[in-house]
Amino acid sequence: MKHETLTELNAERAARRAVIVVTDVASGEQRLIKAADIAADPLHAELDKHLRMGKSSMIEVDGRKLFLNVYAPTARLVIIGAVHISQALAPLAQSLGYDVYVIDPRTAFASPERFPDVPLFADWPDVALPPLNVDRYTAFVAVTHDPKIDDPALLHALSRDCFYIGALGSRKTHAKRLDRLRVQGAGEDALARICAPIGLHIGAVSPAEIAVAIMAEITARLRLPADAQPKAKSAA
């Protein structure tokens, strides 16, 4: 790999921006494609598919063998609320390779005993969230059922390009939440990004089952193309 390519690659990775290095196996020629440039690239369909899957592999195009080396940031999961669902959700997400963070100002909930091996922030969202640098490789869930905690956290998430935002609550609860967020300046396009009721509809009842439903929805959002996403749930 040429020095300038390596330098550019390292800069993108340090900024948590995905890149793909395409190598012509026969000639050794390489080019680096940033995530923002994939849509305009002649190989955009293959590049998009491999980036979504986070997998490097060989492809053949017009008789040429090309190796796609995918560099995608580690996905993050930010959980607002150190509740029972979170106790099941955090280790499940970790087992799937996510870096997990739990935020809850209520120290009785956000304790190391309840969340071993999980970074905890016993602060209000406006204090805890900015240092985490929520980005497009971050999934974000709000599960406290407390507007004083969930609402400012959701407003923060909506101001970022995270790939998934979900919030716990019934359709009626979510409709009231949307009204509160509108009053605080959230637009309709932003509000439409919130997945609620949270999780795929699998009949989940227990905290562990709800955690599975949430991670299934997050995985679908991360891995599937836009036209294959599960049907959006109405907040009506």
In-domain check, residue 217? yes
For residue range 98-115, what is the model confidence (pLDDT) as tens digits?
A: 999 999 999 999 999 999
Residue 206 lies in a domain: yes
- Largest interatomic CA distance in the chain: 62
Q: What is the model's pLDDT at position 226?
A: 86
Name the percent of the chain lying above pLDDT 70: 97
Indicate whether 21 belongs to any domain: yes
CATH code assigned at 163:
3.40.50.720
Mean pLDDT of the 202-217 span: 96
145 in the same domain as 56: no
CB–CB of 128/144 below 8 Å? no
Among 38, 55, 71, the domain-final residue is 71
Q: How confident is the model at residue 24 (pLDDT cuts 50, 70, 90)?
A: very high
User: Are both 43 and 116 inside the same structural domain?
Assistant: no
Are both 215 and 144 inside the same structural domain?
A: yes
Inform me whether the pLDDT recorded for 234 exceeds 90.
no
Q: How confident is the model at residue 1 (pLDDT cuts 50, 70, 90)?
A: confident
Judge whether residue 67 has pLDDT over 60: yes
Nearest to 151 by CA among 187, 123, 122, 176: 176
- Does some domain include residue 209? yes
217/106 same-domain check: yes
**Contact between 107 and 122 (Cβ < 8 Å):** yes
Residue range of the domain that includes 189: 76-228
